[in-house]
Amino acid sequence: MGTPTLSDVARAAGVSYATADRVVNSRGNVAAKSIEKVNAAVAALGYVRNVAAANLSKRRIYRFVFLLPAGPNAFFARMRAHLSLMADHLAQDNIRAEVQEIAAFSASGLEQALRDLHGTDCDGIAAVGLHSRDLEPALAALRDQGTQIVGLVSDLPRDHRAAYIGIDNVMAGRTAARLLGMAHGGNPGRVQVLAGSLDAGDHADRFAGFSEVIARDFPAIEILPLIETRDQASKVHDAAMLATRLAATAIYNVGAGNSGLIRALSERPGDGRCICIIHELVDHSRRALEAGLIDLIIDQRPDVEINRALTLLRALCDGRPLPPMPELVPTIYVRDNLPGQDMTSFFEGQAQ
């Protein structure tokens, strides 16, 4: 017997070709008993769905929506720019990727965006998640209609997404704590931690990892009460100035708004130098690192994360196994190992 066809599957299952097609291509509206028969026939015959042929015959265009925080955040500006640069390439693969902006740290805004996508032609969603159970009904409804969902940078509720693309943020926080503790050389200190919001999973995880290592391995270092800044540069600036008045020996910003931090550091008196660790290499943070205002940057390559999201969403929509991908490991930059100038220079003056 040659390569089994869908007609062979339908005949073996005792169902119509249309029913077999609906089951194999996950189109729904098929009785459970028929689904069992078709799946059994697929397994018995060794039928392999030809995704490329199916999509060509349907002239399918994949619509992937990226739900990203709005505002002048340089990291997400890099993501938006990368998607824009890839638009022509994606079109050749019948993929249309679009960005919808959500108010930063707004669970209600993210929930509404998810609800608005229900019932549309959206094939896949990559969303920067938040810690909120209020998102679960909207995510479940999308999943039930066949929309594929992945968490991006900050995870979504795990039971309602297919994958997470991002670094291990607990590990990133632990790394920051280890380096900061070593920089103190066994001396006591006071560290001011800044976060956009602990409602964001990545910020909460970084703070948890940081606090764990400081408490366990560097007990002489006091963690001052965390300040939430909503990633707004003006609030980050004020928090950094407060850290100066509190005689902080170090500042760790787990989120964004670093243009405000850099401004505050440049305003500090000469004897007010402190250790400073931040996330994401963008144009203004690079200059601050080169100038010695910032000591270390932990970067997670948003372009790589976008590429992974697109690859995973395509595989999920096609019903193929997820491709193996190595763990995303953040890069640690000091002024001595900075890479050559790249697309981050596009964001000068635009982002926090």
Residue intervals in the chain for CATH 3.40.50.2300: 59-166+302-321, 169-299
pLDDT tens digit sequence for 61-79: 899 999 999 988 889 999 9
Q: Which fold has domain 59-166+302-321?
A: Rossmann fold (3.40.50)
pLDDT of residue 17: 83
169-299: in CATH 3.40.50.2300? yes
- The answer to whether residue 50 scores a pLDDT higher than 90 is no
Among 87, 137, 130, 89, smallest CA distance to 115 is for 137
Residue intervals in the chain for CATH 1.10.260.40: 6-49
C-alpha distance from residue 345 to each of 116, 250, 283, 334 (Å)? 35, 28, 5, 18
pLDDT tens digit sequence for 11-22: 999 998 888 878
pLDDT of residue 350: 42
Is-contact 122 95, C-beta < 8 A?
no
CATH number of 6-49, picked from 2.50.20.10, 1.10.10.10, 3.40.50.720, 1.10.260.40: 1.10.260.40
C-alpha distance from residue 40 to each of 13, 28, 168, 257 (Å)? 8, 17, 39, 55
pLDDT tens digit sequence for 117-145: 999 989 999 999 998 999 999 999 999 88
pTM of the complete model? 0.80
Is-contact 320 55, C-beta < 8 A?
no
Is-contact 218 250, C-beta < 8 A?
no
Highest mean pLDDT among 42-46, 60-64, 255-259: 255-259
Question: Rounded to 5 degrees, what angle do the CA atoms 261, 239, 129 make?
Answer: 80
| C-alpha span between 309 and 216 (Å, rounded) | 36
pLDDT tens digit sequence for 163-207: 999 999 999 999 999 999 999 999 999 999 999 999 999 999 999
Contacts of 4 (CB under 8 A, 6+ apart): 45, 46, 47
